[in-house]
Amino acid sequence: MRRIRKAVFPAAGLGTRFLPATKAQPKEMLPLVDKPIIQYVIEEAVASGLTNIIIVTGRGKNAIEDHFDVSYELEQLLQERGKTDLLEQVRAISNMINVSYVRQGETLGLGHAVLMAKDLVGDEPFAVMLGDDIIDSAVPCMKQMTEVFERHGGPVIAVQRVPRQEISAYGVIDGIPEDAGDRVFRIRDMVEKPKADEAPSDLAIIGRYILTPDIFEALERTPRDAGGEIQLTNGLRALKERRALYGYRFEGRRHDAGNKLGFLKATVEFALQREDLGAPFRDYLRGLKL
Ligand code: G1P
């Protein structure tokens, strides 16, 4: 079993749900408290032992590349002013990862974005991590998943139970429990964004995947959906005919930073957890007449 080293971050989306904030700024760079959302997810990758980062970008996404690059001017300024704490933080960002970028010229769906990383991934298992899903957990979600991958030896897809009325916003799996802990499921089928009454279960796909390189061939043969997009879920559906796929109900709290309410909730919760802000922010919130 090969160790997972590479993580693909699709980041070419237009971020229309956050307009006008995302008119001239990538949505991945919106901060939760003081850290861009993409950095939370990249830190999860690094904490899970994945330091080879592949970001799939598009037009207007230069700020992401700059963020993970060395900033000489800023480092020099912080050094001159003796701001060593900040200097360390800024350096840590560029030292954290070995990053490569590939462009997705047209935004033709998540499956298409993953396909763009084919040459950079090569012939080894890899992770896909979506920046909209921020997962707060004692053991990083991706670390939990690498352990499941090592135990079961097949692709692993993160899932979470969601209420029926929300299910049609997700890919949904039909799985049978593989272990007594009710965490690992052998996937029988999966469907992208079904109608609530047609969903095969309440187990929704969350944006963390461990995939094997045969997904690329499956995606190349996956037809576009009604909206003209190549869905990763549909590529995986084809792959399941050829090998065992697993759903993994991770331990942790997931925030949907891809919509405004989820983004606000995550902001509040992360601020409350901060050593420097938690106490005064809690006092402030208590004082609000809600
Ligand atoms: C994507 C996937 C979907 C998954 C979701 C998780 O959808 O296509 O299967 O449930 O991410 O966040 P998106 O939210 O990008 O439309």
- Ligand 1: residues whose CB is within 6 Å? 110, 130, 132-133, 170-171, 192, 204-207, 231-233
From residue 108, alpha-carbon distances to 43, 87, 97, 211 in Å are 27, 39, 27, 20
Burial (Cβ within 10 Å: 0-12, 13-18, ≥19) of residue 98? exposed
192 CA closest ligand 1 atom index: 9
- Distance of CA 193 from the midpoint of ligand 1 (Å): 8
- Distance of CA 182 from the midpoint of ligand 1 (Å): 23
Q: Quote the tokens at residue 15.
A: 């971020």
266: phi then psi, degrees, rounded to nearest 5: -65, -40
Q: State the helix-helix crossing angle for 141-152 and 37-47, rounded to 10 degrees.
A: 40
Q: Are 230 and 156 in contact (CB under 8 A)?
A: no
The whole-angstrom separation of Cα 58 and Cα 107 is 8
Q: Which regions in the chain score pLDDT beneath 50?
A: none
258 CA closest ligand 1 atom index: 14
Largest CA distance in the chain: 62
Model pLDDT, residue 75: 86
- Rounded to two decimals, what is the model's pTM? 0.93
- Distance of CA 113 from the midpoint of ligand 1 (Å): 13
- Distance of CA 227 from the midpoint of ligand 1 (Å): 14
- Go through the domains of the chain in sequence order and give each one's CATH number: 6-258 (3.90.550.10), 259-290 (no CATH)
Q: CA triplet 208, 56, 156: central angle to 5 degrees?
A: 20
Which of 8, 28, 56, 130 should be mutated for ligand 1, with most atoms under 8 A from CB? 130
- Distance of CA 109 from the midpoint of ligand 1 (Å): 10
* pLDDT tens-digit readout, 7-24: 999 999 888 899 999 999
Q: CA triplet 94, 206, 117: central angle to 5 degrees?
A: 50
From residue 171, alpha-carbon distances to 27, 89, 96, 162, 234 in Å are 22, 36, 31, 11, 9
Residue with CA nearest ligand 1 atom 9: 171
DSSP-based three-state secondary structure for 252? coil
Cis omega (within 30 of 0) on the bond before 20? yes
What single-letter DSSP state applies at residue 3? P
* pLDDT tens-digit readout, 40-58: 999 999 999 998 999 999 9
Model pLDDT, residue 235: 97
231 CA closest ligand 1 atom index: 8
Q: Are 204 and 167 in contact (CB under 8 A)?
A: yes
216: phi then psi, degrees, rounded to nearest 5: -65, -45
Report which of 197, 141, 204, 206 is spatially closest to residue 175, judged by C-alpha positions.
204
- Distance of CA 171 from the midpoint of ligand 1 (Å): 6
